[in-house]
Each structure stands twice: as C-alpha cells, then as structure tokens.
Structure 1
C-alpha cells in the first residue's frame, strides 16, 4: 500500500511539473463535452475583479473576431508561466480583432487581482465567481486541469483547444488572415 501511495504521488508530481494542475473533484465530470464541432460554446457570465462589473462571453464574442477563453488561477504555476505568451499574443493581435476572456479558478479576490497586475494581463475581460474548482464556468466547460483554453470565433465555434506558446500565436495569426 505504501508503494502504491508513493507511486501516485510521483505521477501527480510529474504531471504538475509538466504544466498542469488537476482537480480531483468528481463534480467537474458533469460538464459539457466541448469538442471541435460546430456547437456554440456555453455563455459565461461572472463578475470582474472589481466585484461589481459583470462580463458575458457571448457579448464579448460579438465584439471580436477571435476570443481565447483562458481558465487559470493565481496559485497555478504553469498558468503563470504561460501568461507571458498569452500577453504577447494579445498585444500583437488585439487591434486585429483578438481578445482574451480569462476565467479564474481563484477563491481569493486579492490574490487574483494581484496576479492580474503582476503578470500584466491587460485585456479587460477577467471573471471569477471565487469558488475555486467549483467555479460554475469551469464545471460547465468540464475543466479538469489548468491551464486550459479554447480559441473560439465570433459565432462561438471552437477552433482549437489548449494552445500554448508558439502554437497559440500561429493559430491566432492563421484565423485572422
């Protein structure tokens, strides 16, 4: 039994070091099966970091050609490591119709706000219900690990999932031709 427990710890540590934080809550498994099909993504409507402003994904979609839905958290090391890549793509393509809709799995507003500032996440669309892994959008989207992202068009069609680094930049450039 000790050997099995140790093996599980080693596997989880390896996965975390590869860039993913996993949720072990079975309630997430009830989420929508979002595939690269023609279905429209579910709306996300949550509060911004000021605690007052509400942002709705479907409204944001209408205003932009491409939206990256980015599930992350301030406490997620791999998410924070990916943020500079997302910032770079946002800065390069924001004037061409691209934006980011960040959904935080934080449960601490001040840590979330601090991470937005520290990582220079300059896009206007940051949302969270501050329920951590029980974030309603994360459950709806079936998020089991973060970072997790969906690149969608203005109609809400999923164009790609979980793009990172150069792959994100290439996909955004391709779809904004």
Structure 2
C-alpha cells in the first residue's frame, strides 16, 4: 500500500513538473507605462487568447500555459493610441524591459529568455538598419549629378530587394530549426515571394517546424502560391471594364502584359503608378500593356484615381481572381507573356524596368 502511495506521489510530481515546463512566465518593466492593465493577444492551438495583465508602476508579470513558441501582440498605450508590439513567447522564464516614451524607445525594448525572440529581434534590427541605409541613398539620389544617379539607383534597388525579402530569406536558410524561421516564411508567402524560392525555404526547414501548426499553415499557403509560380498559366477571366465592355485574357494574346492589382486608397499603389506610366510609355509600342484590377468598392473614387493618375490602360474591378491567388495585400502584380504564362510576380520600381528591358531585348534577339 505504501509503495502504491509513493508511486501516485511520483506520478503527481512528474505531471506537475511537465506542467511547469509548459508554463511561460514573463516579467516586464516599461518606463512611461502608466496604464493599469495591458493585454497579450495570441493564438495557441487554434484558439484566440486575450490575457489582461495588471500593471503597477510600469511593472507586470504574465503567465500562460504554452509549450511551443507563439507570436504575441502586446497592446501598449502610445501617443493616445494603441500600439501592437509583436514578440515571441515560449515556455520558461522571460524578461522584458525598456521604455515606451518615444517611437525609438519602442524599437529598443529588450526581451530575453527566448531563442525564438532573439532571432526575430536580430532580424528586425538588421532590417531597420537597411531601411535607414535606403533612406540615406534615396536622399543622395535627389542631390546627385546625372552621371552617378544610375549607380546609386542600382544600389538602392539592391537594398530594397534585401528589405523586401532577401534578408528574411537569409535568416530562414541559416536557422532551419528556429521557430522564427517558419514565422518569417509565412510572411514571405503572404507577400507573394516567388514560389520556387518559398518552397525551397520550406523544404529546408527542420521536420519539426514543417509539422508544426505554423508549418502546416505555410504548406497550405504554398499550394495556393504555386498557382502563380513562374511558368504557370494565368487564370482566364472575363470582366467588364469601366465602360462595361468585357475584357478577357485573350485580348492580350501576343503581348507582354502586367496585371496590376491596386486601389485608389492604397498609397503605395498610387506612388507606383508613376513608374508604371513611365514603363508603359517606353514599351507600349513594342508590345507591352497593363491591365489594372482594382479592389475598390467605391466606383466614384476608383474612376477619380484613374483620372488623377492619368492611367491610359484598361481598368476593371474583380475580387474572385484575388481570392484564387490568395492575394492579401496590394500593390501586387503578375507579368505574363503572350500565351498567358507567368514571367514574374510583384515587379515594381527599377526591378520592373530591368525585367521589361530583359524581356524585350530577348524578343529582339529572337527576331533577328
């Protein structure tokens, strides 16, 4: 009987130890935090959680029963609004310290006790440094002489590509066992990274990550991304334009077509329109065309934006094609050849110009 009693105690101790190991405890101290409570929002095992945490003189302590890393949105009061500060939390003891007295101080918040968060913080800081370098280069371009502008623009284009996806790709390749890698990969998939690149990054992940909930999510989204892989056939469409005339993919047979997804309210889209117009004027006579597919719900604002930006190409509105390709953000685009085969995705700025120059140079070589 005594042995049975000890055995039960041993099992209880083992269960308690496992429970403690699966417990996160985060102790935080933030200067300038005057709120009585803050909330920690996260998804764990498919369920949405919103934990209210009591704050006293900027100090707080949060515990949660998690056994795998989760992305948390810590909602902080800042400048009269709510600022979502994202970080990875995982089981064990974690420490958070810093200040929310300025925007710069928010980026200097220190979090320890999580290898996942450490990698993510390293990525964020390096990406922030690249953004600052790009800002400096952009300023130099506006002040430089014509003979050095092209070189600076090329450097800026390389930096922008690193900011967009290159840096994240490096981190994922170099850290195949870190949970932050699958998080970064999901972001790249959402941003329409080239399918072949995204799939290679996924296959390089450790099996434990590929089989995690975030990994399963990435695999599902990869299947949708594959629809827009280079060489894939663009989905056929039949959509009325601004004048009610039906526009189809067959209308652009034998042309190089940029299918541009945009909206009147999308500031980056409107900024990119000037670059699209420049390339349209340069290559239209050679067989280049653009089809604008708007996400606008307000037809008046849509038509007004087309007029304000002086867009001469056909414009339609459609949401089904966006859903089919899993587009979650704009601007986005597909470059397709005269047979409807996808040549590239999300080509903007100088990268689009370089690609068009390459395409039409190859066409000229073949015609000789």
TM-score (norm 2): 0.39
Higher strand share: 2
- Structure 1 distance, partners of 2:84, 2:246, is 39
Q: Which runs of 5+ in 1 are unaligned?
A: 12-17, 23-28, 130-134
Tell me, yes or no, if the aligned pair for 1:67 and 1:151 is still in contact at 8 Å.
yes
Aligned pairs, number: 154
Q: Which residue of 2 aligns with 1:171?
A: 355
Q: Which runs of 5+ in 2 are unaligned?
A: 1-38, 41-72, 77-81, 87-162, 165-189, 191-220, 362-368
Q: 1:120 aligns with which of 286, 310, 334?
A: 310
Q: Which residue of 2 aligns with 1:93?
A: 283
| RMSD (Å), alpha carbons | 2.5
- Structure 2 distance, partners of 1:106, 1:31, is 23
What displacement does 1:80 show? 0.4
Q: Which residue of 1 aligns with 2:247?
A: 55
TM-score (norm 1): 0.77
Instruction: Output aligned runs, 1:22-61, within 5 Å.
Output: 33-50=226-243, 52-56=244-248, 58-61=249-252
Where in structure 1 do 4 or more consecutive aligned residues deviate above 6 Å?
Answer: none
Q: Which residue of 2 aligns with 1:4?
A: 74
Question: What is the SS of the residue equivalent to 2:259?
Answer: strand
What displacement does 1:33 show? 3.3
Tell me, yes or no, if the aligned pair for 1:31 and 1:139 is still in contact at 8 Å.
no
Q: Which residue of 2 aligns with 1:14?
A: none
Q: Which residue of 2 aligns with 1:158?
A: 342
Cα displacement string for residues 97-117 of structure 1 (whole angstroms, at most 9, x for unaligned residues)? 000011000001111111111
- Structure 1 distance, partners of 2:226, 2:84, is 28
Cα displacement string for residues 6-44 of structure 1 (whole angstroms, at most 9, x for unaligned residues)? 487467xxxxxx99xx9xxxxxx6956334332211012
Question: What is the SS of the residue equivalent to 1:75?
Answer: coil
What displacement does 1:156 show? 1.3
Higher helix share: 2
- Structure 2 distance, partners of 1:9, 1:70, is 31
Q: Which residue of 2 aligns with 1:76?
A: 266
